[in-house]
């Protein structure tokens, strides 16, 4: 019997909130070599590009999406695949809420598939899906 039996289609993923700081945005830019100034240069972002604040990277939101799902599924689970798409901007000072639901459970493969989202003020900024392999029960 695998741990897949602990999951059911429709089960909601526990939500997690993230509020990145300016340092988080700068560090993510540096670590990922995402050098667009809209993520770390406020005067450029507001005066040149016309945004109200620094933008939270789309890939950082994708990382939050996967991290929250991984914590919910459990530390023994292995990420098999992930996809995500950005729909709306999120800005420094926004609190992002990550969540989702179980969309498929494959007992034979020992996998669980999740539909995931990142929201700001109840608007989805990023949506996606992930498939996790789960360890056998007792592993």
pLDDT, tens digit (0-9, with 9 covering 90-100), for 44-73:
999 999 999 999 999 999 999 999 999 999
Confidence bin at 2 (pLDDT 50/70/90): very low
pLDDT digits (tens, 9 = 90+) for 16-35: 999 999 999 999 999 999 88
Q: With contact defined as beta carbons under 8 Å apart, do 126 and 62 qualify? A: yes
Q: Are 137 and 3 in contact (CB under 8 A)?
A: yes
What rounded mean pLDDT belongs to the chain? 93
- Banded pLDDT at 75 (limits 50, 70, 90): confident
Written out in words, the top-level CATH class of the domain with range 3-20+56-133 is alpha beta
Cβ atoms within 10 Å of 40's Cβ, excluding its own: 21
C-alpha span between 39 and 125 (Å, rounded) = 16
pLDDT at 3 > cutoff 70:
no
Local confidence band at 138 (pLDDT 50, 70, 90 cut-offs) = low
- What percent of the chain clears pLDDT 90, i.e. is strictly above it? 89
Residue 39 has pLDDT above 60, yes or no: yes
Please tell me the distance from the alpha carbon of residue 60 to that of residue 20, in angstroms, as a whole number: 9
* Segments making up each domain of the chain, as ranges: 3-20+56-133
* Model confidence, pTM: 0.89
């Amino acid at each position: 019997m695998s741990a897949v039996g602990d999951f059911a289609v429709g089960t909601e993923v526990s939500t997690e909130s993230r509020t990145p700081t300016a340092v988080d945005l700068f560090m993510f830019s540096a670590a990922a070599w995402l050098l667009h100034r809209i993520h770390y240069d406020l005067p450029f972002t507001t005066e040149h590009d016309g945004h109200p604040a620094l933008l939270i990277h789309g890939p950082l939101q994708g990382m939050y999406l996967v991290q929250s799902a991984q914590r919910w599924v459990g530390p023994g689970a292995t990420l098999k695949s992930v996809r995500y798409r950005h729909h709306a901007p999120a800005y420094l000072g926004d609190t992002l809420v990550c969540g989702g639901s179980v969309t498929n459970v494959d007992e034979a493969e020992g996998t669980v598939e999740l539909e995931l989202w990142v929201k700001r003020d109840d608007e989805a900024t990023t949506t996606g899906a992930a498939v996790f392999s789960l360890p056998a029960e007792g592993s």
